[in-house]
Amino acid sequence: MKLAFLVFAATALAQPPPVRILIAYHSQTGNTEKMAQAIRKGAASVEGVEVSLRKIADVKDQEILQADGIVVGTPVYWSNVSADSKRFLERVGDVLWKAKTNGDDRTAGAFCTGGGVAMGKDVARLSILSALLTMRFIVIGGVDDAGFGTLGPEATTGPAGRGVGEKEQEEARNFGERFARMTRQIRSAKNPPAPSAR
Amino acid sequence: MKLAFLVFAATALAQPPPVRILIAYHSQTGNTEKMAQAIRKGAASVEGVEVSLRKIADVKDQEILQADGIVVGTPVYWSNVSADSKRFLERVGDVLWKAKTNGDDRTAGAFCTGGGVAMGKDVARLSILSALLTMRFIVIGGVDDAGFGTLGPEATTGPAGRGVGEKEQEEARNFGERFARMTRQIRSAKNPPAPSAR
Amino acid sequence: MKLAFLVFAATALAQPPPVRILIAYHSQTGNTEKMAQAIRKGAASVEGVEVSLRKIADVKDQEILQADGIVVGTPVYWSNVSADSKRFLERVGDVLWKAKTNGDDRTAGAFCTGGGVAMGKDVARLSILSALLTMRFIVIGGVDDAGFGTLGPEATTGPAGRGVGEKEQEEARNFGERFARMTRQIRSAKNPPAPSAR
Amino acid sequence: MKLAFLVFAATALAQPPPVRILIAYHSQTGNTEKMAQAIRKGAASVEGVEVSLRKIADVKDQEILQADGIVVGTPVYWSNVSADSKRFLERVGDVLWKAKTNGDDRTAGAFCTGGGVAMGKDVARLSILSALLTMRFIVIGGVDDAGFGTLGPEATTGPAGRGVGEKEQEEARNFGERFARMTRQIRSAKNPPAPSAR
């Protein structure tokens, strides 16, 4: 029995803790939520990654502190993040500050949905990324279907767009996968596995 | 007496209603408030202009609807406007929307104070101006002491700056005066004085 | 004959000089040019307005100096204005500076075309508007078909968009008309017509 | 001799190629160059890192392609990057595109100097970072002396600032060190060392 315990303990030590990704979003109509779910799907497909999908009001302090990567999603209200999303960003800053820590070695991403084609989507995503850069996070964007990088996934939900369609969800899934994979890379580089004792 | 009334009425008709400017600000520490007061001073120095200086929580719907020009001031929190300031911008949009009106022929301006020299001051002011452009306002900036235009007055309130000193207040006063003068110009062009009956 | 001359001179004095609008654009593929032409059409429909439509390389210093309003159009290259467009903005600044003048009482507008739906269109237009605010111009945006204000007309020219279609051109025309009308308003307020001699 | 060769080969295999960082800058007056030199100093202090410091006109295509991390510095002209800096960003995109590669697993950073305290410094750095995000780079910011993250080092070179003083250079050095260390981390995670044969 003692032996069994030792074997278990050794396995636990060998196994690094999961890479934790928090996807926090504000959604009134369900559009941003749909994007968030697609991102979660992509992120969860990466081995060794644990994803929490939360409405911003439901995020616990502990989840912010434990996250190796944070992705924030917002609807675009008047050419910027919603006030609720901004409040959440301020809370992330407060929680880290009180815990005397910061975004070092952690990753940050952004996504949004907007009624108009190009009315504040850049500003909204850059606002999220700037806020998290100011907390010392590393910023990771998405990749669109033409292979170009993006500030993060987005969808046009007004009459001029296609809403959160299959294409938008695929881009969101791809972003989730990319974000999770790179967050895992950066975490593994931070905590290199101990050389196996022999 | 009848004659006196007629004279009074004629004078009232001849006299256009005052140009109304609303300065709305969010301030925690008093810095943004100090800037707001300097702007008010400058704006109030322009003949025919009536200025309301309000904390964002105290602004009345009527004041938003009657304003010929709106100036919004914010502290910079995490490289953007504060959540409270963003909430106010959303309220301005709602109030105009419900009254089936918009920013046409009205002017908008922005100002901010930030702890860091250049950490989000552009983003904060551009966020305010973008939001108000999206409501169809005309945007007016400031002028610094070298004669360059600005996105609106700003001050650095952390250890790297001088706080809201005399120079910052002068720039704020000049902006208030410029903003009021141009708002009056635009209002007068919108409602040209009726040709004097003869 | 003398009398005829006097009558002519009096008419010339009574008639204010035309309001001059310069539309300057950079276009590689013709998309931004198509938008520029639609803006010109809208602007030229306003009485008393004279429009110059120019590729940025063809703009003469004199046209910059005489313009009551300047509209700058750019393709979006790597999430911002093209280097060529930025070079033109720097030239505008230089020309005004050397002539010891600035954007006071003049208006500025922006438009763009981009391959992606929302990849740098905000940044590109805000870059143009910020540059011209720094030269002391007054900023005027557009209005989309839902009645919302915009940072200026835009079109998505890659596979995800409709190119410069009828809808895009209509928005551009409407912007041109709005921009010209407001520029005329502001000019007339700056130079109020002299009281008719009697 | 055979043995000596084998030992050499084994050492070469064990030794990963250096992490390459390219610092490319545009500088007219020497200010941005001074910042670039401080960043180089910080980056070069990190073991296993090779730094190229280049004026943008002197950068070779090969240097762009080989770089594990690229840092771009610009003066602020009219509230944005200089046209020359934007041209360089477009060239980076072209060079990667033609080589059928992109910024995946590479890092990007920005810095700037501006005449005014807060006139376009955010926009300039966000323009650089957005462009490089669109090429799929990972974005890394700086840290100021209060421990806050930044969009990258900056200095105020006009009368309102202290120029590129000791404090500005220290922040630049710290950024260089942080950028190089994190770039090395990310590179090592991308190419994990082969398990030692036994």
List pLDDT tens digits, range A27-81. Answer: 999 999 999 999 999 999 999 999 999 999 999 999 999 999 999 999 999 999 9
- Rounded to a whole number of angstroms, the distance from the CA of D18 to the nearest CA of chain C is 29
Residues in chain A: 198
Q: A62 and chain D: CB distance < 8 Å anywhere? A: no
More confident position, C195 or C191: C191
Minimum-distance CB partner of C148 among A119, A126, A144: A119
Q: Looking at A29-178, which runs of residues are DSSP E strands?
A: 49-55, 69-75, 107-114, 138-139, 142-143, 149-150, 154-156
List, as one string, the DSSP characters of D97-144: HHTT--STT-EEEEEEEESSSSSSHHHHHHHHHHHHHHTTPEE--EE-
Give the residue-averaged pLDDT of D4-17: 60
Q: Give the closest residue to A150 by CA, choosing from A107, A179, A116, A183.
A: A179
Kindly determine whether residue D78 and residue C134, on different chains, have CB atoms separated by under 8 Å: yes
List pLDDT tens digits, range A141-161. Answer: 999 999 999 999 999 998 888
pLDDT confidence of residue C159: 85
CA distances (Å), origin B108, targets B102, B151, D148: 12, 11, 31
Instruction: Give the residue on B whose Cα is nearest the Cα of A116.
Output: B134
Distance CA D165, CA D189 (A): 36
> Which residues, other chains included, contact A121 with Cβ-Cβ below 8 Å and sequence gap of 6+?
A76, A112, A114, A154, C118, C122
Please, are residues A11 and A52 in contact by the beta-carbon 8 Å criterion? no
- Rounded to a whole number of angstroms, the distance from the CA of C128 to the nearest CA of chain D is 9
Interface of B with A in 91-130 (CB under 8 A): 93, 119-120, 123, 126-127, 130
List pLDDT tens digits, range D162-185. Answer: 899 999 999 999 999 999 999 999
Kindly determine whether residue C118 and residue A148, on different chains, have CB atoms separated by under 8 Å: no
Q: A159 and chain D: CB distance < 8 Å anywhere? A: no
Q: Give the closest residue to D180 by CA, choosing from D68, D91, D55, D105.
A: D68
For residue D66, the one-letter residue type is Q
Distance CA D140, CA D178 (A): 9
- Count residue pairs from B and C with Cβ separation < 8 A: 74
Q: C151 and chain A: CB distance < 8 Å anywhere? A: yes
- Tell me: pLDDT of C1 over 60: no
CA distances (Å), origin B155, targets B34, B113, C24, C39, D145: 10, 5, 35, 38, 19
Q: Give the closest residue to B32 by CA, choosing from B144, B159, B125, B137.
A: B125
Minimum-distance CB partner of D80 among C78, C120, C127: C127
Chain D hits for A122, Cβ within 8 Å = 130
pLDDT confidence of residue A147: 94
At residue C115's C-alpha, the angle toward residues C113 and C120, to 5°, is 70
- Biggest CA-to-CA distance, chain A: 67
Mean pLDDT, rounded, of chain A = 91
Give the residue-averaged pLDDT of D122-137: 97
> Which residues, other chains included, contact D63 with Cβ-Cβ below 8 Å and sequence gap of 6+?
D20, D22, D52, D54
Kindly determine whether residue D79 and residue B118, on different chains, have CB atoms separated by under 8 Å: no
Backbone φ and ψ of D159, nearest 5°: -60, -25
Q: What is the pTM of this model?
A: 0.91
Interface of A with C in 6-45 (CB under 8 A): none
Q: D136 and chain A: CB distance < 8 Å anywhere? A: yes
Residue A1's pLDDT band, with cuts at 50, 70 and 90, is very low
DSSP type of residue B2: H
Instruction: Give the residue on D whose Cα is nearest the Cα of B145.
Output: D160
Minimum-distance CB partner of A122 among C122, C144, C161: C122
Q: Give Cα B99 distance to the centre of its chain.
A: 20
Residue A58 burial by Cβ neighbours in a 10 Å radius (0-12, 13-18, 19+)? exposed
Kindly determine whether residue D90 and residue C83, on different chains, have CB atoms separated by under 8 Å: yes
Mean pLDDT, rounded, of chain D = 91
